[in-house]
């Protein structure tokens, strides 16, 4: 049987759940209701309807995505959960969205003895403006690798083959044209949520926007991410407990969606969130994507039924191979006709992932016809079913159309000026150094203790010829200890570099602003921790009459630390994935 025909009989009937606007948004303000049930493989499932253009086989024929975005824009923006969104809150015209496609994409890593181990095996797919594409699959199946490949962030240890098309052309994503929320939350732990978001807004939003508009954008985005309650709490780290893991996740997302980027990659946006928070976050991102014409690609682990219902497209992977690519709403039907129907009352995404996870291969899946098969066989059956299905045919056709149609090159969004960025970074860095005990204060205390020790050991060392040896050994002692201590702030510096790495890769600012800001903000602290211990040593050793000793304690220490820190910064800036 032709695969296109295979999928016809049990197409779920999706109908709109209530009055809708021309843009397909629910007229009640975008609140999605779960009031449509359909029979499927003997199981009764409830799901959502969004009238999205991604899928096929729906009774509601939605308008094309660009028309949809234009309508929303013409209407002055659609409502979000927090009241009307003003028309000028969008930075992008509807035709400025990014269409991302990948064709025959292979990624492999060195497997020892010169062999290559494939991580992604000939994937095809696409993501379009206004839509959220979910990448799902068992742990280690290649979700993050696919996101990295699409975002142009693969490390040098892996090689990539195949085409990645942006607006139908092969072009490299420049810094700042996409935003990527990584799996780990890399945040400045000394800042409050509000400070972190506001500094980010000042660093990223274009100078054409007024300060008030930037503040409003920051507040609005915090509200979208449900962070109002935690706005004035410090993010916190190992030394100071701050916001929760789920709130950190939301802060990470909040910072990256401030500019409403044309292309947004999310690596596990809902990890650490409870099911209600996951639903609200994905729902708000979905609405934002539609409203702002953003293309969103998200690697997701285990969405609830409601969250799964929010995705437009699904790319389901198993060990580097495509199990399914198409409309998320068509996945259940695909599994059903491939011989793996979802049991009644089971979360479909749980079923998909359980069917294709062979890490615990003692569990034997039972096929529809009663045959028992291993998970590896189940995966092969699904891969074969997908390869002969209309879904692959449709994906291939769409990619060809995108290639033929082409589109404009992706432009960088406007940014604040170099001076503004340097000033904002200097202020942020100064606040961070002031609040971080490990950065300078700890070293300050240790330097004072060391200088007290040196001062008492060589107390009143004198100026006679007999004291020359004592003065020489004192200078060596001071040089060795105090210079060594210059790297005492290294742990805080490494944390700083991780933040710099993330922000730089996302195009928030460049290396020069960072180096200037860190040097300026560090100077007062370095001066303080050079002069105070220097003065103590100078006084105790009784070398008041010889000014060069003070210079040694203070100026040499200061310049040594400046040089060490400057070198660390330059080396770290040259290596983006320093962390």
Ligand X SMILES: Nc1ncnc2c1ncn2[C@@H]1O[C@H](COP(=O)(O)OP(=O)(O)OP(=O)(O)O)[C@@H](O)[C@H]1O
Kindly determine how many residues on this chain lie close enough to bind ligand X according to the rule CB under 6 A.
Answer: 13
CB of 297 to ligand X, least distance (A): 13
Query: Applying CB under 6 A, does 277 fall inside the site for ligand X?
Result: no
Closest to 181 in 3D by CA, of 273, 276, 319: 273
CB of 204 to ligand X, least distance (A): 27
313: enclosing H helix or E strand: strand 313-318
Q: Which is nearer to ligand X, 84 or 110 (CB)?
A: 110
CB of 351 to ligand X, least distance (A): 18
Contact stretch for ligand X (CB under 6 A) within 92-100, 142-150, 338-346, 466-474: 142-150
Query: Applying CB under 6 A, does 511 fall inside the site for ligand X?
Result: no
Q: Which is nearer to ligand X, 29 or 140 (CB)?
A: 140
CB of 74 to ligand X, least distance (A): 39
CB of 119 to ligand X, least distance (A): 4
Query: Applying CB under 6 A, does 530 fall inside the site for ligand X?
Result: no
Contact stretch for ligand X (CB under 6 A) within 153-161, 187-195, 426-434, 513-521: 153-161
Task: Tokens for 31, please give them.
Answer: 């609140």
Task: Tokens for 473, please give them.
Answer: 């050994």
Rg (CA), the chain: 29
Query: Applying CB under 6 A, does 143 fall inside the site for ligand X?
Result: yes
Residues 6+ apart with CB under 8 A from 178: 98, 151, 261, 262, 263, 264, 265, 506
Residues 6+ apart with CB under 8 A from 539: 455
Residues 6+ apart with CB under 8 A from 548: none
Q: Rounded to an integer, what distance in angstroms lies between the CA atom of residue 345 and that of residue 218?
A: 41
Q: Which is nearer to ligand X, 265 or 525 (CB)?
A: 265
Q: Where are the alpha helices (DSSP H) in 205-273?
A: 211-224, 245-257
Q: Which is nearer to ligand X, 148 or 496 (CB)?
A: 148
Q: Which is nearer to ligand X, 322 or 521 (CB)?
A: 322
Q: Which is nearer to ligand X, 121 or 437 (CB)?
A: 121
CB of 507 to ligand X, least distance (A): 23
CB of 124 to ligand X, least distance (A): 18
Q: Which of 157, 170, 464, 545 binds ligand X (CB under 6 A)?
A: 157
Task: Tokens for 214, please give them.
Answer: 């930037």
Please name every residue paired with 125 in a beta bridge, in sequence order, or none if there are none.
Answer: 102
Annotate each residue in 101-140 with x if it binds ligand X (CB under 6 A) or - if it does not, as one string.
Answer: --------x---------x-----------------x-xx
Instruction: Give the pairing type, strands 321-327 and 116-127.
Output: unpaired
Q: Which of 141, 151, 474, 497 binds ligand X (CB under 6 A)?
A: 141
CB of 37 to ligand X, least distance (A): 32
Q: Which is nearer to ligand X, 267 or 330 (CB)?
A: 267
Closest to 488 in 3D by CA, of 540, 547, 433, 561: 561
Contacts of range 197-201, beta carbons closer than 8 Å, 24 or more positions apart: 197/221, 197/222, 197/227, 197/251, 197/254, 197/255, 197/258, 199/424, 199/427, 199/428, 200/255, 200/258, 200/508, 201/258
CB contact at 8 A, 314 and 136: yes
Query: Applying CB under 6 A, does 144 fall inside the site for ligand X?
Result: yes
CB of 317 to ligand X, least distance (A): 7
Q: Which is nearer to ligand X, 273 or 526 (CB)?
A: 273
CB atoms within 10 A of CB 238: 9
Q: Which of 48, 80, 145, 178 binds ligand X (CB under 6 A)?
A: 145
Q: Which is nearer to ligand X, 118 or 491 (CB)?
A: 118
Instruction: Determine the angle formed by the axes of helices 511-540 and 557-574, rounding to 10 degrees.
Output: 160
Residues of the shown chain interacting with ligand X in the complex, contacts defined by CB under 6 A: 109, 119, 137, 139-145, 155, 157-158
């Amino acid at each position: 049987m032709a695969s296109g025909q295979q999928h016809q009989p049990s197409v779920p009937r999706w109908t709109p759940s209530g009055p809708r606007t021309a843009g397909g948004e629910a007229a009640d303000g975008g609140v999605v209701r779960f009031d449509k049930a359909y029979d499927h493989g003997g199981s009764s499932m409830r799901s959502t309807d969004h009238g999205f253009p991604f899928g096929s086989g729906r009774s509601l024929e939605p308008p094309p995505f660009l028309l949809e975005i234009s309508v929303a824009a013409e209407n002055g923006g659609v409502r979000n959960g927090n009241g009307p969104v003003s028309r000028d809150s969008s930075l992008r015209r509807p035709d400025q969205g990014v269409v991302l496609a990948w064709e025959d994409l292979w990624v492999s890593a060195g497997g020892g003895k010169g062999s290559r181990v494939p991580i992604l095996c000939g994937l095809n797919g696409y993501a379009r403006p206004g839509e959220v594409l979910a990448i799902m699959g068992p742990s280690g199946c290649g979700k993050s690798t696919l996101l990295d490949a699409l975002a142009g962030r693969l490390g040098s240890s892996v090689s990539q083959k195949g085409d990645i098309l942006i607006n139908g052309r092969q072009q490299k994503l420049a810094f700042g044209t996409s935003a990527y929320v990584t799996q780990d939350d890399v945040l400045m732990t000394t800042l409050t949520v509000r400070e972190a978001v506001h500094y980010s807004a000042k660093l990223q939003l274009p100078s054409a926007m007024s300060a008030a508009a930037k503040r409003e954008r920051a507040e609005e985005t915090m509200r979208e991410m449900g962070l109002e309650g935690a706005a004035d709490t410090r993010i916190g780290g190992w030394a100071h407990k701050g916001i929760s893991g789920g709130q950190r996740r939301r802060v990470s997302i909040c910072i990256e969606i401030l500019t409403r980027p044309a292309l947004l990659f999310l690596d596990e946006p809902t990890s650490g969130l409870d099911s209600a928070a996951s639903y609200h976050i994905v729902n708000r991102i979905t609405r934002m994507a539609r409203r702002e014409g953003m293309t969103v690609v998200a690697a997701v682990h285990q969405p609830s039924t409601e969250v799964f219902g929010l995705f437009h497209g699904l790319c389901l992977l198993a060990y580097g191979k495509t199990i399914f690519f198409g409309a998320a709403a068509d996945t259940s039907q695909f599994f059903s006709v491939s011989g793996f129907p979802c049991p009644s009352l089971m979360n479909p995404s749980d079923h998909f992932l359980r069917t294709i996870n062979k890490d615990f291969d003692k569990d034997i899946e039972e096929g529809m016809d009663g045959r028992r098969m291993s998970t590896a066989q189940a995966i092969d059956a699904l891969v074969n079913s997908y390869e002969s299905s209309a879904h692959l045919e449709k994906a291939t056709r769409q990619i060809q159309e995108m290639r033929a149609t082409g589109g404009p090159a992706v432009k960088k969004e406007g940014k604040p000026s170099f001076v503004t960025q340097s000033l904002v970074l200097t202020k942020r860095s100064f606040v961070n150094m002031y609040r971080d005990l490990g950065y300078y204060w700890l070293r300050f205390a240790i330097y004072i203790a060391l200088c007290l020790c040196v001062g008492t050991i060589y107390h009143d060392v004198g100026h006679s010829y007999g004291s020359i040896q004592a003065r020489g050994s004192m200078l060596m002692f001071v040089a060795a200890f105090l210079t060594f201590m210059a790297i005492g702030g290294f742990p805080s510096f490494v944390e700083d570099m991780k933040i710099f790495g993330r922000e730089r890769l996302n195009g928030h600012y460049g290396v020069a602003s960072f180096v200037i800001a860190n040097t300026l903000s560090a100077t007062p602290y370095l001066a303080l921790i050079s002069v105070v211990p220097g003065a103590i040593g100078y006084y105790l050793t009784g070398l008041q009459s010889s000014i060069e000793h003070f210079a040694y304690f203070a100026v040499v220490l200061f310049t040594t630390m400046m040089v060490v820190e400057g070198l660390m910064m330059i080396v770290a800036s040259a290596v983006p994935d320093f962390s």
